[in-house]
Structure 1
Amino acid sequence: MPLDPLAKRLLAMMAMASTGERARPTTDERRQSLVKLMQFARSDAMVTTIDGVFPGPAGDLSYRLYTPAQDEDEQLPGFVFFHGGGMVAGSIDSHDRIAAALAEATGCRLISVGYRLAPEHQFPAAVEDAIAATEFVSRHAASLGINAAKLVVGGDSAGATLAAVVCQHALRSGAPTILAQCLICPVLDFEETSPSREAFAENYLIDRLTLEADLADYLPEAIDPADPRVSPLRSTRLTGLPAAIIHTAEFDPMRDEGNAYASKLLAAGVNVEHICHDGMIHNFHAMGAFLPQARLVLLQIGEQIRRTLE
């Protein structure tokens, strides 16, 4: 299908707003840009929130616990959520609206995790924090109002990278028990350049220069980008992973790696629900102010997770 007309209009508006020739963004520019972009997310979810901290590998880490408004007194399934931002940008606050929408749609108590970011904290800091967060939620599920037997791990973009890595780690270590993984526009492979990364390297929201800058900030020179903790698509052990809900977008540079991961999981006997959304771009789920598909995909994810947890 062609690029969705509303997505095309949005990209054109962003191109007009940019100034001068494109250059590799600084970390501060990347962070400011994502904050502005995430303001386009829907904001009408009915949830209550509580902020807290938990002990991480290198000090306390923040979290925000979202509870659907109608379910405040019940023990609910849990959803550990990792925000996107290329491992260098994003925060609990930047993704507040998406986290709230997912909590409402899924009927889960959702825990949004403030993991450490590069370049201040390079790999494997974010991975270690994500693993620690999931283990914390599993151990303290009862006090958080969560049913530990019904745990979902997920994220969008680079947050989906962390979710995939957490699930692979849990498989290797035998704990905690994770019933489902939810990967939205996931970034899963830095070893090779796919056709979609080439085709949509410019003018499709997230470009090659930004991806290169993020990876340079995040990955120390001594680390192989094919390490499955960096590129979870490269893992050779997939059998036994949690059921996967994967949403990719037709005009996303990361489309091919998300589609490939869905295929590899299916081949490994994992239960997979995968949808590649026609005409859509990276991060479309967070653009409800412009794209009707944003609200629809969040509702769809909610239905998929509810069904999987049953």
Structure 2
Amino acid sequence: MGKLGIFGGLVRLLLPAGAIGMLYGGRLPEVAGRRIDPKAQALLDLIVAVRGPNPLTTVADSRVQMAGFVEKFDLPGPAEVRREAGELPGAEGYRAARVYYPPAAKPAATLLYFHGGGWVQGSIDTHDALCAKLAAQAGVRVISYDYRLAPEDRFPAAPDDVLAAYLGLVSGEEELRADPAKLVVGGDSAGANLAAGLMHDLVAGGHPLPAGQILVYPAVDGRMTSDSMQALADNALLPRDRMEWYLDNYLPAGHDRQDPRFSPLFSDHLAGQPPALILVAGHDPLWDDGQAYASRLHGAGVEVEVAEYPGQIHGFLNLTKVQPEGTVAIAGLARWLSGRLHG
């Protein structure tokens, strides 16, 4: 599709949801009874127009694309949130961190956040607005951590980094420090995978646990055989071939996809984990990952809340300029976070 088609898709995306729904004439896709939000479908159609018939690209280009996508389609974070550069340990030396301080933040209350991006892309910058919004709305300090990316540093570099960062943060020996009782760990997509894997490592190692975990459309089952994976294999934003491309870049050749550090669904250290909030989107191939993980945590005696957005797509919390439900979802996360840390 040419530039005219892309322009038309962008114009449609910017219309109110009701008007977009009328343009589709009631022919919006459903998956297991979950009808997609009109604006979400308009965004998927625009992605198809932009990417063209061959959506896979180089690692460098994918990083530029993700950064540009978020810059175009996400609302900025609140200006009153103060940002400071910091650092936390990684497995092979210190890594950058960005610290967010809202005006009413209580220094003891902290969210340690891991960005998404398929372990290959994404950064502190792509998730700057999301972290600032969570800080402002929950009234907590947020620390966004720059773990190593693949393919330059393959698994287990990222989980080793986040474990080192967490242990450094709670040790009391670093400039950035946090009391585990006033600390929540969270992330989205690949970042949620790292947060869930971190819980496995902490319980297995007998380390102090945080007060909670926030998992936003988590990837927790490397088999990729769930019903939602099959039904949404051709999803424009996160198709199966793109997910396989992420894994090819992230995992060493032949690595067991059921390794619990990569697929926390198979962890035998779920019991005793802190309360969890799991957010899932109905037109995201990872819908069943989140649901299955919630079920397994609940079965292990963990307090779990599932926030369902049946009409939404993967990544919608970073697309709030064109997906208003992302703003609603962020507010829900902030309420839960505030309740865990201020309650």
Q: CA deviation at 1:35?
A: 0.8
Give the AA of the match of 1:13. L
Among 51, 62, 69, the residue aligned to 1:18 = 51
Please state if 1:61 is matched with 2:95. Answer: yes
Deviates more, 1:154-163 or 1:5-14: 5-14
Normalising by structure 2, report the TM-score: 0.85
What's the offset of the Cα at 1:112?
0.4
| 1:121-168, Cα deviation, whole Å (9 max, x unpaired) | 000000000111111111238954744421100000000000001111
Cα shift at 1:206: 1.1
Moved more, 195-204 or 156-165: 195-204
2: CA distance between counterparts of 1:129 and 1:251?
31
Structure 2 unaligned blocks of 5 or more: 1-33
Identify the residue that residue 126 of structure 1 maps to in structure 2.
158
1:41 and 2:66 aligned: no
For residues 173 and 294 of structure 2, what CA distance do their matches in structure 1 show?
29
CA contact (8 A) 2:282 2:311 kept: yes
Which amino acid in structure 2 is aligned with residue 98 of structure 1? L
Matched residue of 2:187: which SS?
A: strand
Query: 1:94 offset after TM fit, Å?
Result: 1.3
Separation in 2 of the partners of 1:203 and 1:36? 20
TM-score scaled by length of structure 1: 0.94
Q: Distance in 2 between matches of 1:102 and 1:48?
A: 13
> What CA RMSD, in Å, does the superposition of the two structures yield over aligned residues?
1.6
8 Å CA contact retained: 1:25, 1:213: no
In 2, Cα distance between the equivalents of 1:151 and 1:237?
Answer: 20
- Which residue of the partner structure matches residue 244 of structure 2? 212
Q: State the distance in 1 between where 2:171 and 2:273 align.
A: 20
Q: Which residue of 2 aligns with 1:252?
A: 284
| C-alpha displacement of 1:106 | 2.1
Q: What is the CA–CA distance in structure 1 between the aligned matches of 2:95 and 2:208, rounded to whole Å?
A: 19
Which range moves more in the overlay, 31-40 or 90-99?
Answer: 31-40
Q: Distance in 1 between the 2:55 and 2:102 partners?
A: 42
CA contact (8 A) 1:201 1:253 kept: yes
Return 234-243 or 153-162, whichever deviates more: 234-243
Identity of aligned residues (%): 38
Structure 1 residue ranges without an equivalent (≥5): none
Equivalences for 1:180-219 in 2 at 5 Å? 180-219=212-251
SS in 1 for 2:280: strand
Q: Is the 8 A contact 1:76 1:107 kept in 2?
A: no
Q: Displacement, 1:306?
A: 1.5
Matched, 1:51 2:85: yes
Distance change (3 Å), C-alpha of 1:257 and 1:148: closer
Q: Does the aligned pair in 2 maintain the 1:42–1:101 contact within 8 Å?
A: no
Q: Secondary structure at the match of 1:257?
A: helix
Q: What SS does the corresponding residue of 1:60 show, helix, strand or coil?
A: strand
- Secondary structure of 2:328's match? helix
Q: How much has 1:105 moved relative to structure 2?
A: 2.2
Which residue is 1:139 aligned to?
Answer: 171
Q: CA 1:268/1:49 → structure 2, altered by over 3 Å: closer, same or farther?
A: same
The answer to whether structure 1 residue 81 and structure 2 residue 81 are counterparts is: no
How far has the Cα of 1:203 moved from its partner? 3.2
Q: Please, which moves more after superposition, 99-108 or 4-13?
A: 99-108
**Is the 8 Å Cα contact of residues 48 and 236 (structure 2) preserved in structure 1?**
no
1:254 positional shift: 0.6
Q: Whole-Å Cα distance in 1 between the matches of residues 192 and 267 of structure 2?
A: 15
Which position in structure 1 is the counterpart of 2:123?
Answer: 91
Counterpart in 2 of 1:278?
A: 310
Task: Report how far residue 308 of structure 1 moved.
Answer: 2.4
Q: What's 1:3 paired with?
A: 36
The 2-side partners of 1:268 and 1:297 are apart by 26
8 Å Cα contact 2:87-2:176 kept in structure 1 = no
